[in-house]
Homo-oligomer: A and B are copies of this chain.
Amino acid sequence: MALTDQELIAGFINIIGQEHVITNSSDLEPYLIDWRKRYRGQAIAALRPASTEEVSAIVKLCAANQIAMVPQGGNTGMCGGATPNPTGRQVVISLQRMNKIRELDASNQTITVEAGVILQALQEAATAANRYFPLSLGAEGSCCIGGNLSTNAGGTSVVRYGNTRELCLGLEVVMPNGDILNSLRSLRKDNTGYNLRDLFIGAEGSLGIITAAVMKLFPVPVAQWTALVAVPSAEAAVELLNRFQAGASAQLTGFEMMSDESLALLKHYYPALASPLAGPNAYEVLVEISDYESEEHATQLMESILSGALESGCATDAAIASSLAQARKFWDMREHVPLAQADDGPNIKHDVSLPTSAIPTFVATCNEMLRKKYPGIRIINYGHLGDGNLHYNVAGPSSAETESFFVNRSKEIQALVYKEVEKLNGSISAEHGVGQQKVDYLKGHRGEVALNVMQAIKRALDPHNLMNPGKVVSL
């Protein structure tokens, strides 16, 4: 017979202690709502285990009582993937207390961390060992590596180091039945059977709970050199990218783009972060080069590629950061575009990716189509051009109309934008994941066969649909 809620809670207390079973409504509140306050749910309790064994025991108790579980890290997701549903019949399992760095092997360039380690703490642990952990994103001060893995987070250095997926060598996962899957090996090569690791990465907790991971580390660059480059068009931006790829190869560690409207918004809300380049420019690109020799070599490489670009016309102006402070300012510009947007009010967000060669066509077609249909709209187009990832966001004609435009036009504009993305074989979720936000788009995007395969895997590993149900793949 199933336990009553009180018996269940007594069971959880028995596993992790009273103070880590959160049930009173004010303490529970932060676990029930996402940081952007778009998704809200209810829960029997939020549970804060401190070890893999405790997670396993909780999962076994939940499985025995058919209680659905919602794993949660720093709760900084964009798609509601870590928010419980409104039934109040789920539990949130927070991994935040699992925050130990288990091992750092500087020679092998690996670090073994628990899921609740905050990204910034991981970066700092690497730095302290004279190594570099490249994953970097806006939420790094509060997001956890378990969440980064579960959503396969992207960020600003994917152009060189790949997504979180590419940075992971091994995982420890608590399966939906409570079994502990230990694949925490620090190996660059291991061809022994199916690659389970990459199935859990990006599954947003719907196939099991990631409790620990082995991540790759890298040597620390001797110098990082940053430039802000004006380009006359999206075509020119892609040509500039190709020039840096050819000339700097893996030394190209950042390539971010901001459209003129993004820069105008930035200037309005953060005047101190206005671009130092004479404008307006169709786009400005932030380029970062990392060097393992010297500052001189980095400067020389940057200048040589830029002078070729200026000559060819794909760049029309450029400012090379002359100090760490100025380099920081260029990055601040890029990072404050989304903040300026938030200040401006809600906007219709699209986290899309395309082959970089298709980006000029996408931008031209989509801009024209939308501007014609919705005169006066502002297209805040910026993002990780080096990875083909655009945050192509649409805001109403003026700040005053932003809210109503958002409420009335979101569905239709998203449908229009996604249609253009699909035409060019892009993705409707480049780095933010699916969560509960994009579940209904999955079949249209991935196709029926892929959805069938995903559902078959979900059913095979989580036959009672208890692990973050309703997220990613609906059954």
A195 contacts across to B, CB distance below 8 A = 152, 165, 198-199, 201-202
* Chain B, Cβ-Cβ closest to A443: B193
Contact of A276 with B by CB under 8 A:
no
A193 to B50, CA, bound (A): 29
Contact of A7 with B by CB under 8 A:
no
Let me know if A108 and B355 touch, CB within 8 A: yes
Let me know if B202 and A199 touch, CB within 8 A: no
A35 to B299, CA, bound (A): 52
Contact of A375 with B by CB under 8 A:
no
Let me know if A450 and B196 touch, CB within 8 A: yes
Let me know if B446 and A152 touch, CB within 8 A: no
Contact of A24 with B by CB under 8 A:
no
A250 to B109, CA, bound (A): 14
Contact of A426 with B by CB under 8 A:
yes
Let me know if B355 and A449 touch, CB within 8 A: no
Are A430 and B190 CB-contacts (below 8 A) given A195-B199, A292-B249?
A: yes
Contact of A101 with B by CB under 8 A:
no
Q: A424: shortest Cβ distance to chain B, in Å?
A: 10
- Digitize A435-455: 1 where CB-to-B-CB distance is under 8 Å, 0 elsewhere: 000100110011101111110
* Chain B, Cβ-Cβ closest to A153: B191
Interface bracket on A: 35 or more
Let me know if A434 and B242 touch, CB within 8 A: no
Let me know if A191 and B453 touch, CB within 8 A: no
A158 to B433, CA, bound (A): 29
Let me know if A431 and B189 touch, CB within 8 A: yes
Let me know if B180 and A357 touch, CB within 8 A: no
* Chain B, Cβ-Cβ closest to A472: B193
Let me know if B453 and A181 touch, CB within 8 A: yes
Q: A293: shortest Cβ distance to chain B, in Å?
A: 7
Residues of A274-312 contacting chain B, CB below 8 A: 290, 292-293, 301
Are A356 and B192 CB-contacts (below 8 A) given A181-B450, A187-B426, A292-B246?
A: no
Stretch at the interface among A119-127, A338-346, A405-413, A457-465: A457-465
Residues of A371-386 contacting chain B, CB below 8 A: 384
Let me know if B292 and A434 touch, CB within 8 A: no
A218 to B246, CA, bound (A): 8
A452 touches which one: B179, B292, B431 (CB < 8 A)? B179
Q: A341: shortest Cβ distance to chain B, in Å?
A: 20
Are A449 and B179 CB-contacts (below 8 A) given A105-B357, A355-B108, A460-B457?
A: yes
A136 contacts across to B, CB distance below 8 A = none
A218 to B242, CA, bound (A): 10
Q: Give me the 4 closest cross-chain CB pairs, A-B, nearest first.
A: A250-B250, A460-B460, A198-B198, A190-B427
